[in-house]
Amino acid sequence: MRIVTSSQMKQIEQRADQNGLFYYDMMENAGTAAANSIMSKISPRDKRVLVYAGKGNNGGDGFVVARLLFQAGAKVKVVLVDGEPVTEDAAANFDLLHDLEIGVLDFLNDEPQLQVLLRDVDIIVDAIYGTGFHGALRKTARLAARSINGAIAAVFSLDLPSGVNSDNGESDKDAVQADFTIAFDSLKPAHLIYPAAGRCGAVECAEIGIVPQWRTDLPRTFLHITPEMVMEAIPERPVDSHKGTFGKLLNISSSLGMTGAAKLSVLGAQRVGTGLVTLAAPRSLISLHAASLTEAVFLPLIENEAGTVARTAAVQLGPKLEQSSACLIGCGLSNNDDTAAVVEFVVKNAKCPLLIDADGINALGRNIDILSEAAGPVVLTPHPAELARLLNVETEDLLAHRVKYGRAFAQKYNLTLVFKGAHTLVFAPDERVFINTTGNNGLAKGGSGDLLAGMIAGLMAQGIPPLQSAMCGVWLHGAAADRCADRLSKTAMLPSDILTDLCGLFREYNR
Ligand SMILES: NC(=O)C1=CN([C@@H]2O[C@H](COP(=O)(O)OP(=O)(O)OC[C@H]3O[C@@H](n4cnc5c(N)ncnc54)[C@H](O)[C@@H]3O)[C@@H](O)[C@H]2O)[C@@H](O)CC1
Ligand SMILES: [K+]
């Protein structure tokens, strides 16, 4: 699905206006599409409707909806939140209401009357703010949003729930909680990025008359990951191939007590088609791993007294890195001075693409600046708590400002950042953000991240560039998890079960 920022949307509308689709017409089209969407869900006749309108063009859309629902038989009242409209088209549409039996209330001055109406309202149309909103809700709009959220009614937000930022997915804590959001022309980042995405309810995208060529040349900074993008990045396997064709992954993982993490990461890499996976693990654990990882090969590493990789293992890893097409470090590796030294060695010496996960990320927390000395391209796959530790911020703050923190981090260290969570975000070293909407909360279990790390690393080992590997990995992982949930339930499914569904996915796409 197409995603545009608020300034791009303004540009598109400007071009439309210059080409004869005037602002006024677009407002009529937007309001008509929204009214039709509402009426397709709830028969309007005799329904009690409150349209909360701001003073900008989002409010103007609201006036169009008010008029159309009234004409279809609803009992409509308009609630002005910031006073009378200030834009030309919104004012024109406001004027059209005067000849109709549509009561107009002022949110502050007519509060007692509004309280009565709110007791038995059927539909609330939220047209306070759209793409023009920035920062925090001010006093009156905050009270208005709270009154919407406190009412028992179906809430339809026009373009965006009021109180969310269109471009970065941030949300005021009192932003409108919609049941449905009708986006105009294109999705905006907020429709897909949390926490704003969580305010939207079900999202529909409505045509307002824009012609594709008015938007084709705009740079795509936010991209929704689609199966087509994924399958285009993963080549079909050539007929005359051999295991060397599909790369060699060096996976430096495992420690006493966390062997499962290493195992899942190996299986993840194998199931995305990697030619050969070498598990480099503390030597006392090799026989245990060898008993279940039939298709892997092993590099027994020098270990310390704690049963974790010793810093002296660097001498073993150096030559192996030279022979590998990608490296993964960190799944169940443990976090101590020795593992930190090994992580530092690998970051500074891996010329092939390197994925750092879990304890590898924790090790970076000791000296994050070694990332600036990376010998090759780096992908990081932290979960929110790991990233928060790394950035030295509170997890809550990080989750509220995902785009701000994620983008700055990926750019500063010139790496690909996989920001895991509901709708995982993949930040490219440039400005781009890839948004993944596959996956479900059945993935919220130990082992999911290890599987994902192995999958992305396995794709990198096959020569798929790191950014594309991350994008493909998160989509495949989530899509397989969705199938798995259908088969086994979100509650009972395990990360290892997802591997079976991954096979089904590849079969379906002929890979
Ligand atoms: N530009 C156009 O021609 C079209 C715009 N459309 C609608 O217009 C919307 C954008 O309209 P606008 O650009 O007028 O903006 P909005 O209607 O989204 O915002 C209204 C006003 O709120 C102000 N504002 C921003 N942050 C605020 C805050 N924290 N507290 C209080 N006020 C704040 C802004 O300065 C702006 O004047 C779209 O989301 C869409 O719904 C549609 O009608 C289609 C056509
Ligand atoms: K709105």
Residue 29: the pLDDT is 98
- Name the DSSP letter for residue 160: S
For residue 374, report the distance from its CA to the centre of ligand 1, in Å.
Answer: 44
Kindly provide the residue ranges of all beta strands, DSSP E only, lying in 59-114, ordered along the sequence.
75-80, 103-106
Q: Ligand 1 atom closest to Cα of 160? A: 39
> What's the longest Cα–Cα distance across the chain?
85
Where, residue-wise, is CATH 3.40.1190.20 in the chain? Answer: 227-508
pLDDT score of 390: 94
pLDDT (0 to 100) of residue 353: 98
Identify the pLDDT of residue 239: 87
Q: Could you count the other beta carbons within 10 Å of the beta carbon of residue 217? A: 6
Q: What local confidence, expressed as pLDDT, does residue 216 receive?
A: 87
E strand spans, 377-421: 378-380, 416-419
Q: Which amino acid is at 79?
A: V
Residues of the chain with CATH 3.40.50.10260: 6-218
- In what helix (H) or strand (E) does residue 206 lie, and over which residues does it extend? strand 202-206
> Measured from the CA of 27, which atom of ligand 1 is nearest?
43
> Class assignment of domain 227-508?
alpha beta
Q: Report the nearest-CA residue for atom 37 of ligand 1.
A: 56
Residue 111's CB is within 10 A of a number of other CB atoms, namely 13
Q: Is 134 exposed, middle or buried (0-12, 13-18, 19+ CB in 10 A)?
A: exposed
385 residue type, one letter: A
CB of 26 within 6 A of ligand 1: the answer is yes
The predicted structure's pLDDT at residue 257:
93
Q: Is 501 annotated as a binding residue?
A: no
Backbone conformation region of residue 438, classed left if phi is above 0, alpha if psi is from -120 to 50, else beta:
beta
Is 0.85 exceeded by the ipTM? Answer: yes
**CATH homologous superfamily for the domain 6-218:** YjeF N-terminal domain (3.40.50.10260)
- Single-letter code of the amino acid located at 495: P
pLDDT value of position 197 = 98
Q: What is the CA radius of gyration of the chain?
A: 27
Quickly tell me which residue has 């690909």 as its tokens. Answer: 416
CB 441 within 8 A of CB 256: no
Pocket of ligand 1 contains residue 63 by CB under 6 Å: no
| The total number of residues written for the chain in this structure | 511
**Per residue of the chain (511 residues), what is the pLDDT tens digit?**
899 999 999 999 999 999 999 999 999 999 999 999 999 999 999 999 999 999 999 999 999 999 999 999 999 999 999 999 999 999 999 999 999 999 999 999 999 999 999 999 999 999 999 999 999 999 999 999 999 999 999 999 999 999 999 999 999 999 999 999 999 999 999 999 999 999 999 999 999 999 999 998 999 999 999 999 999 999 888 888 887 889 999 999 999 999 999 999 999 999 999 999 999 999 999 999 999 999 999 999 999 999 999 999 999 999 999 999 999 999 999 999 999 999 999 999 999 999 999 999 999 999 999 999 999 999 999 999 999 999 999 999 999 999 999 999 999 999 999 999 999 999 999 999 999 999 999 999 999 999 999 999 999 999 999 999 999 999 999 999 999 999 999 999 999 999 999 999 999 998 8
| CA 40 to chain CA centroid, nearest Å | 29
Whether residue 13 has its Cβ less than 6 Å from ligand 1? yes
Rounded-to-integer distance, Cα 495 and Cα 442, Å: 9
> What distance in angstroms lies between residue 484's CA and the mean position of ligand 2's atoms?
36
